[in-house]
Every structure is written in structure tokens, then in C-alpha cells.
Amino acid sequence: MPVYFLCCLIHNLHVYTLITKANHNPIIFNFFKWYTNWKIKKYFHQVKIIGEFQEKNKSILLVSNHNSWWDGFWTLYLNMKIFKHQFFFMMLEKQLKKFWYFNYCGGFSVNKNSSTLIESLQYSAELLSNSQNLVLLFPQGKIESMHQQEIKFEKGLEWILKKTGSSVQIIFLANLIDYFSMPKPTLSIYFQEYSVVDFQTATLERDYNIFFNKCLQNQKQLTE
């Protein structure tokens, strides 16, 4: 009996392994918001926000390209300026363990090679059931060059949208930078609301790339 009980306990621990859920701490998070503003002001010549937002009393699923360590800072900055929702973001488990303080700023874990992947996606859908929340998702699943002109999606976004349906406000986001003749870069943050045609990954990927390439074309026309 003791051996059987021990085996069951080990099995249950494996099956019910929990992801690291977001744990907003007002002191740490407020400091992080201040730090984000300070850091962007320090390292960027200016920030251009291009897009229109209409509040619909829905949660926001923010779908963004992923090209640098800065992405979370840029998105938090945009949320503070425009959306003003409670901020959450999915982060690779090994990175969240390394930068543990992000957990207190809305970060929650995902491990693509683990059985907990579905838990992370389900948790995203649960967060989006609250109209005050915003969830940032990088559908590429990894950091890629800013010069990448075609963004490839993994299937997590499709899974989440099939759970949430039309109850969320989907926003496409693209972050791009240029230096021109300045020692510090100009950050251009493009965003656009997206009306879902269907929840298939191929459709979402196609429509995001149409948006992303329009942003690239617009970026080429910018001047100082």
C-alpha cells in the first residue's frame, strides 16, 4: 500500500504541475512602470504612437512582433498611454525563472515543450474573461530580427481565440525603430484593431503580415 500510494502521489504531481501565474505586486509593478518611462526617455530620441483605439469594455489580446529584449517595455508604455488595462504577458518559463521579478509585473510562464503548455493557454483565456485585462502575446514564439518581413505564427493564438471567441478586442501591434541622423533611435509603435475572419492560424498569420508590411511601408516614408 505505501508503495502504491507513493506512485500515485508522484503521478499526480506530474499531472498537476502548475504554471507560474502572474502575481501583480503594486509596489514592484508601480516601480516598474516608472522605470519603463524613465528607460524609454533615456534611450530613445522620441516615441511615435500610430493607431486609433476605441474602448469597447472588452479585454484586449495584443498580438505583437517579437524582435528584441525591449518588447515588453514598449508594450507596457503603450498600455499606460493608450489602453490603460491591467497588464499581463506570456513569458518563456526559463526566462521567467531567471528574471523572477517580471512575475510581479504581470508575467506568467509558458513551456512549449511541456504538458503545461495547454495550462498556459487556458490561463491566457481565463485572464481575457475579465474586461479590465490586457494580455500580450508574441505568436512567433521566439525573438527574430526586426528585418524579418514575414512573421510565422505558432498555433497558440488560434487555441486562445477558439476559447474566447468575440468577447475580446484583438489589437495587432508592430514595434519598429530608426536612427536617422540621431544618436538615439526613434521608436514607432503601430497598432490596429483586428476583426476576426476566422480563428485559423493561417488566416491570422496572413492578416497580421498584411498589417505588418503596411507598417514597414509607412516606416520607409518617415523622415526626421
The pLDDT tens digits for 52-86 are 999 999 999 999 998 888 999 999 999 999 999 99
3-state secondary structure of 115: coil
pLDDT beyond 60 at 17: no
What pLDDT does 223 receive? Answer: 65
The pLDDT > 90 percentage for the chain reads 67
What pLDDT does 147 receive? Answer: 72
What pLDDT does 5 receive? Answer: 41
pTM summary value: 0.87
Torsion of CA 81, 82, 85, 89, to 10 degrees: -80
Is residue 8 very low, low, confident or very high in pLDDT (cuts 50, 70, 90)? very low
Angle, in degrees to the nearest 10, between helices 71-78 and 26-43: 100
Rank 3-7, 80-84, 106-110, 166-170 by mean pLDDT and report only the highest: 80-84
pLDDT beyond 60 at 13: no
- Between 3-17, 92-106, 174-188, the lowest mean confidence (pLDDT) is in 3-17
Mean pLDDT of 11-18: 48
Is residue 197 very low, low, confident or very high in pLDDT (cuts 50, 70, 90)? confident
Helix or strand run (H / E) with residue 41: helix 26-43
What pLDDT does 16 receive? Answer: 43
More confident: 14 or 68: 68
**Residue ranges with strand state E in 165-208:** 168-178, 186-194
What pLDDT does 224 receive? Answer: 59
In the chain, what are the domain boundaries?
21-220
Rank 12-26, 109-123, 144-158, 204-218 by mean pLDDT and report only the highest: 204-218
Q: List pLDDT tens digits, range 119-175.
A: 999 999 999 999 999 999 998 877 777 777 788 998 899 999 999 988 999 999 999
Q: Which fold does the domain 21-220 belong to in CATH? A: Glycerol-3-phosphate (1)-acyltransferase (3.40.1130)
Q: How far apart are CA 91 and CA 113, in angstroms?
A: 14
3-state secondary structure of 111: coil
Tell me what the pLDDT averaged over the chain comes to.
88
